[in-house]
Amino acid sequence: MVRIRIFAGSVPTMARILVVGDVVDDVIVRPLTSVTPASDTPAAIRRRDGGSAANVAAWLGWQGADVMFVGRAGRDGAQRHAEALSRFGVEARIAADGEHDTATIVITLDGRGERTMYVDRAANSALAMKDVPLSAWKDLRWLHLTGYTFFDPATRPMAQELVLRARDRGVTVSLDPGSVAFLREAGVEEFARWTSGVDVVLPNLDELRCMTGEDVPDRAVLELSRWYPTVVATLGDVGAVQMTPDGFLVRQRAEPADVEDLTGAGDAFAAGYIAASADGLDPQHALRRGAETAAIAVSRTGARPVLGEARSAL
């Protein structure tokens, strides 16, 4: 039987967090009329800084976390993306790749803010251990990775090496699976094998169902806990649920928001949850921080915080 517990708060302390993975140029397309196949459709088109891992780092920095981001971009984008992240207080180490362009994702939005994505990984596929500086491990408490680095055969060995090094140092490792399509292609058990050693997995509802074959979230997080000690699942407008290592369920309702764009909502949630957890807050407070951060994210277009935006809601 699954048990439910409400946890009391604790006093936070600042923690060092490392995020490694994708940095991307997002091209966001919102059709303004019905789409006309094989012809013209009026649309609002915007370029935004993106990449799941880089987005998490940006939201962490926006919250005041002590965070380093490591990634790889083309010569056209390395400095630009590093400067963009530094504005949020992130220590960005983005290698400039002389052979590949900066990764690009074209995102089309429907009337509900739901997304269809077209992905060109480009320089992300060249990310390697040599891009991770030794200083990244100093006083490190938490490492965050995304599934994209594991799905790509070129970067999978690096991701697995990062997990091993983190575990040797007693560093907590979290993972956002990132893509239902890629999960199905790889196979769930294979993905679980690739990501062995991860402490905290953060799937959304679709990923949770894909990884477990269970439609009921409570049963699904219990099933997924066979592979990962802590499961934190986001359930859309229902909220979020966590299965702790000792078998307790912790629930959090979604915060109200006027949804403009769901791009980056999971990244914002992950950042809120990680920042609170790394600073020693209990699961209930960490889930609440995640929900509050996600509510801010979905209320505008793009996957990053707005510079200068107040953090009073957190």
Distance (Å, whole) CA 11 – CA 185? 43
Please, which residues have CB within 8 angstroms of residue 250's CB and are 6 or more apart in sequence?
4, 5, 6, 7, 241, 242, 244, 283, 284, 287
Order of all β-strands in the sheet with 239-243: 3-4, 248-253, 239-243, 230-234, 200-201, 172-176, 140-146, 16-20, 66-74, 91-97
Average pLDDT over residues 298-312: 73
**Which pLDDT score is estimated for 307?**
79
Domain ranges of the chain: 3-33+43-297
For residues 140 and 278, the answer to whether their CB atoms sit within 8 Å is no
Is the pLDDT confidence value at 303 over 90? Answer: no
pLDDT of res. 208: 97
Q: Measured between alpha carbons, how far is 285 from 274 in angstroms, rounded to an integer?
A: 11
Instruction: Say what the pLDDT of residue 10 is.
Output: 34
Length of the chain: 314
pLDDT tens-place string over residues 41-99? 999 998 889 999 999 999 999 999 999 999 999 998 999 999 999 999 999 999 999 99
pLDDT (mean) for 285-293:
96
Banded model confidence at residue 13, pLDDT cuts 50, 70, 90 = very low
Closest CA to 57 of 104, 4, 12, 94: 94
- Let me know: does 301 contact 23? Beta carbons within 8 Å: no
Q: Which residue has the higher pLDDT, 47 or 270?
A: 270
Over residues 207-215, mean pLDDT? 96
Out of 5-9, 252-256, 267-271, pick the least confident. Answer: 5-9
Q: Say what the pLDDT of residue 2 is.
A: 32
* Cβ contact 165:135 at 8 Å: no
Q: Would you say 54 and 69 are in contact if contact means Cβ atoms under 8 Å apart?
A: yes
Query: Rounded to whole angstroms, how far apart are CA atoms 224 and 222?
Result: 6
Confidence of residue 6 (pLDDT cuts 50, 70, 90): very low
Q: Yes or no: say if 20 and 132 are a contact pair by the CB < 8 Å rule.
A: yes
| Cα distances (angstroms) measured from residue 236 to each of 2, 67, 208, 240, 256 | 22, 27, 12, 8, 11
pLDDT at 113: 62
pLDDT tens for each residue of 107-165:
887 766 667 889 999 999 999 999 999 999 999 999 999 999 999 999 999 999 999 99
Token pair 């993306």 is found at: 81
pLDDT of residue 133: 96
Q: What is the pLDDT of residue 311?
A: 59
Strand residue runs (E) in 110-153? 115-120, 140-146
Instruction: Give, in order, the Cα–Cα distances in Å from 251 to each of 10, 27, 230, 292.
Output: 18, 34, 14, 14
Cα–Cα distance for residue pair 12/246, rounded to 1 Å:
22
Q: Which CATH class is domain 3-33+43-297?
A: alpha beta
Query: Does residue 299 register a pLDDT over 90?
Result: no
pTM of the model: 0.89
